[in-house]
A and B are shown apart, each in its own frame.
Chain A
Amino acid sequence: MYLSLVQPSRTTARRASQPEKPAAPQTHAVFRGRALPWLLLFPSLLVLAIFSYYPAMRTLRLSVFRSNLIIGNEQFVGPANFAELLSSPVYQQVALQTLVFVTLVVTLGLLCALGLAWLASKPIAGAKFYRLMLIYPYALSPAIAGTLWLFLFNPEVGPVNAVLGHLFGLQPRWLDNPLLAFGLVVLAAVWKGLGYNIVFYLAAIQNVPAEITEAAEIDGATPWQGFWWVVFPLLSPMTFFLLFTNIVSALFDSFGLVDILTRGGPVYGRAGITTFLMYQLYQDGFRNFKTGAAAAQAALLLLLVVAIVLMQFRYGNRKVHYGA
């Protein structure tokens, strides 16, 4: 969510402002005063310093100590926390599960959202209503999505098993079977993200000039060809942006979903099958009180986020089509 809206606004604003852009930003700097700009910035900087930078530094520092918040002792161990983590079979399994989870959620999520946004962009009766309905799930939180799915797939009293039992005599125990539980969390995460992704895809599709799609139609392209060869490439900046925001939200926002739906379980191999990196960090930090291990995990995740954001900035501006 944090990274969310920066990229498209940047691109759309830039596109909108390009024609009359020779006015460099410097020409805006008109007001005088030495102390005033600092005074204006002070509240923001203070909050960011205390609640972002200081904890970030502390996290990095904690990651090279073995400490226990409860007992309150601390011992410098250098890179031992990292070595332990990376060689731990549990952490390796959790990392692998996270990779599979993120890949599935992002791929399925973007494909579904693109399809639905494409359908909703058609000039059909009631399109405005459909669009509004599709956008609303954006307001849905991971925790509430988890609550809804927990009830839906409750083996004894949930509506899904009631229907399955009625029709086929099937009563799968969704949350006890590792494969089913994993699939369920993936689907719930995809579903939760649909609203957000559709908002942006819909906007991008509506910005595709009508002349282009009409030209394709006149040249004899089928609707599918028109979509795949003409519209989809024009949407690539949006796809690229959503790819990164979805990766980040699958890494972090899925916590509420997992915590309510499965609590990281059921156990498969050496760890709970739905224990992902963020859930593991929470477990070690606040349940097992292994502060050093949790800080080291946070440091590794920080590296991952920095890498993702750097890639977004590096490739986001070059390899994709940004429209005219």
Chain B
Amino acid sequence: MLIVASPLIFALIKATQSSAQVTGPSLLPGLNVLANIRAAWEGAGLGHYMVNSAVVAVCVTVGKTVLSLLAALAFVYFRFPLKGLLFALVLFTLMLPTELLIVSLFDVVSGSLHWGNSYAAIIVPFIASATGVLLFRQHFMNIPASLSDAARIDGAGPLTFLGRILIPMSWNTIGALAVIQFVSAWDQYLWPLVIMQTDSKQVIQVGLSKLIDVEGQSNWGAVMAGAILAILPPVAVFTLLQEQFSKGFALGQDK
């Protein structure tokens, strides 16, 4: 257990030490945590990167949730031509991770859309989610059909039904999905690295690595403080939505 946690513990300790201690063998926590955080936050502009990452991760998470809910509503509660084919098309995108498409996606986003300097480049391509559509569809299909029958008989339209009945019944799934989507959006590295031309709009994952670019000259106390800061938001989201995460995936049911 300790061995597994040791890299994080090391990082936590080193983030509190002064620059002289950081490079020495001392493993005693120091008192320099605020100085290190300030060095990372202001000196290296990490605060900026953190805000950018937060904007991107929140937009992607909200976008994915809304678009997936709407799509799942169409797939479960409507009959229309080509439904099977369209569902297969959505499903198939699971096999097309961004990393694979990176060369052409770069052409499209930077060349055709001229988004190289805009947040849109790191948000819009990710606001549709096959995983989300699948999970919501699965969840809706387990909701008794009598509910939607009743709603229709009472004269409720599909959007009213979605807002009044489906969403309140789906908080666990929404929460669970929000966790994995927030974490994966926050953790993006390769795509922002290649697409984002404006440093002031760069995300934390890439921004942090800029702190260590100067070989041997890095202020490691500040880097470790920055790394810890960068882990906090996903950890906070995870802690906040832990209950929903477990229930939404039907995980960890002791009985």
Contact = CB atoms under 8 A, between A and B. Distances in A.
> Are these two chains actual partners, yes or no?
yes
Interface of A: 1-6, 8-10, 12-13, 16-17, 23, 25-31, 33-34, 36-38, 40-41, 43-48, 50-56, 58-59, 62, 69, 116, 130, 132-152, 154, 156-157, 159, 162-163, 165-166, 191, 194, 199-200, 202-203, 206-207, 248, 252, 255-256, 259-260, 278, 281-282, 285-286, 291, 294-295, 298, 301-302, 305-306, 309
A48 B105 CA distance: 12
A44 B67 contact: yes
Given A47-B125, A256-B189, A147 B212 contact: yes
B238 A139 contact: yes
Contact of B76 (A25, A140, A248): A25
23 contacts: A1-B97, A10-B138, A13-B142, A29-B79, A31-B152, A31-B157, A36-B158, A43-B67, A43-B70, A45-B128, A48-B128, A50-B108, A51-B105, A52-B93, A136-B238, A139-B231, A141-B186, A141-B205, A143-B208, A147-B208, A159-B14, A252-B100, A278-B99
Contacts of A145: 7
B102 interface: yes
Interface in B92-143: 93-97, 99-109, 124-131, 133-135, 138-142
Contacts of A4: 131, 180
Query: Which secondary structure dominates chain A's binding surface?
Result: helix
Contacts of B10: 148, 151-152, 159
B141 A9 contact: no
Given A37-B74, A151-B224, A6 B104 contact: no
Contact of B103 (A26, A43, A59, A140): A59
A28 B103 contact: no
A119 B92 CA distance: 37
A177 to B, nearest CB: 17
Contacts of B187: 141-143, 256
B94 A41 contact: no
B24 interface: yes
Contacts of A30: 77, 145, 148-149, 152
B254 to A, nearest CB: 6
A283 to B, nearest CB: 12
B8 interface: yes
B178 interface: no
A232 B18 CA distance: 48
B206 interface: yes
Contacts of B193: 259
B23 A157 contact: yes
Contacts of B62: none
A281 B227 contact: no
B131 A130 contact: no
B78 A133 contact: no
A188 B211 CA distance: 20
B125 to A, nearest CB: 4
Given A43-B70, A309-B95, 7 more contacts: A16-B250, A41-B86, A144-B208, A154-B220, A157-B22, A255-B190, A291-B103
B23 A191 contact: no
B70 A255 contact: no
B90 interface: yes
B128 A47 contact: yes
B168 interface: no
